[in-house]
Amino acid sequence: MKPSLATDGYEIHHRLLSEAEVADLRREADSIAEAAGSVCVRHLRSRSRRFDELCASDALLSLFPVGLRPVRSILFDKTVSENWPVQWHQDLTIAVAQERQIPGYGPWSFKDGSPHVQPPVSLLERMVTIRLHLDDTPATNGALRVIPGSHRDGRISTDSLCDYAKERSVTCECRSGDALLMSPLILHSSRRSVSPARRRVIHFEFARDEDLDSSLEWFEHGNNQQRTRRRS
């Protein structure tokens, strides 16, 4: 049986993007990474009209429950020279416009100029992340590993990570054009590539406005809010 987002915490959609679309997105990603001077570029939508339009496209939105919209965007570009492993973790923070002391939100941190905070688990439970692969990502090239069903355990403490049977992990091998949907609460990691090659991944996070405390606002708060800062 194919894994499902609700039961397993992840699912893979093959060939969501055509070869022509992937080629176009590669060129855009390379231009953005070069301009930013980084292999991890946050706030991708404010840098690129192309990616801003992509995250609101029917092809992506049709994969999610009604009411979700993009709230964070990141480019990851693992290369031969930038070949890092990622330990087992959950994605527990969100990016918001301002820091406010609100019960249930914390601790706070700053990344690339934007406030980040751990929200209530109930918000994270309703979020969905999509990772669009612009390159083939087999197990030997840093494919994401996940522990199916771990998203149902809420926020997992560091001390409890050792309780999870890593032998149950699944390697999410993807081809260019494939999309990986996942809950931010699923335990996931990636190994250092043993046959390193380009591994460009576009990471979009989707959430509902009503799930965020009414005194807060998403940092990426609208498709057209920062249009003047975007490249053509």
DSSP state of 214: T
- The pTM assigned to this predicted structure is 0.92
- Note the pLDDT of residue 112: 87
Q: What is the mean pLDDT of the chain?
A: 91
Per the domain annotation, does 131 fall within a domain? Answer: yes
Domain span at residue 195 reads 5-213
Calculate the dihedral angle through the C-alpha atoms of 116, 121, 127, 128, rounding to the nearest 10 degrees.
100
Domain tally, the chain: 1
Per the domain annotation, does 220 fall within a domain? Answer: no
> What percent of the chain is modeled with pLDDT above 90?
78
Per the domain annotation, does 18 fall within a domain? Answer: yes
- Note the pLDDT of residue 115: 97
Residue labelled with tokens 């989707």: 206
**Residue 60 to residue 113: CA distance in whole angstroms:** 28
- Note the pLDDT of residue 174: 97
Q: Give me the residues of the chain with pLDDT under 50, please.
A: 224-232
Please enumerate in sequence order all residues whose Cβ is within 8 A of that of 147, keeping only pairs 6 or more positions apart, or say none. 88, 164, 165, 166, 168, 169, 170, 186, 187, 188
Q: Please, how many CA atoms are within 13 Å of residue 42, restricted to the half-sphere of its CB?
A: 13
CATH of the domain at 58: 2.60.120.620
Other Cβ atoms less than 10 A from the Cβ of 215: the count is 11
Per the domain annotation, does 66 fall within a domain? Answer: yes
Per the domain annotation, does 225 fall within a domain? Answer: no
Residue labelled with tokens 């087992």: 88
Calculate the dihedral angle through the C-alpha atoms of 11, 46, 135, 66, rounding to the nearest 10 degrees.
20
Pairing type for strands 128-133 and 94-95 reads: unpaired
Per the domain annotation, does 219 fall within a domain? Answer: no
Per the domain annotation, does 120 fall within a domain? Answer: yes
Per the domain annotation, does 224 fall within a domain? Answer: no
Q: What is the largest CA-CA distance in the chain?
A: 48
CB-CB contact of 148 with 132 (8 Å): no
- Note the pLDDT of residue 165: 77
- Note the pLDDT of residue 195: 78
pLDDT digits (tens, 9 = 90+) for 177-212: 999 999 999 999 998 888 767 899 999 999 999 999
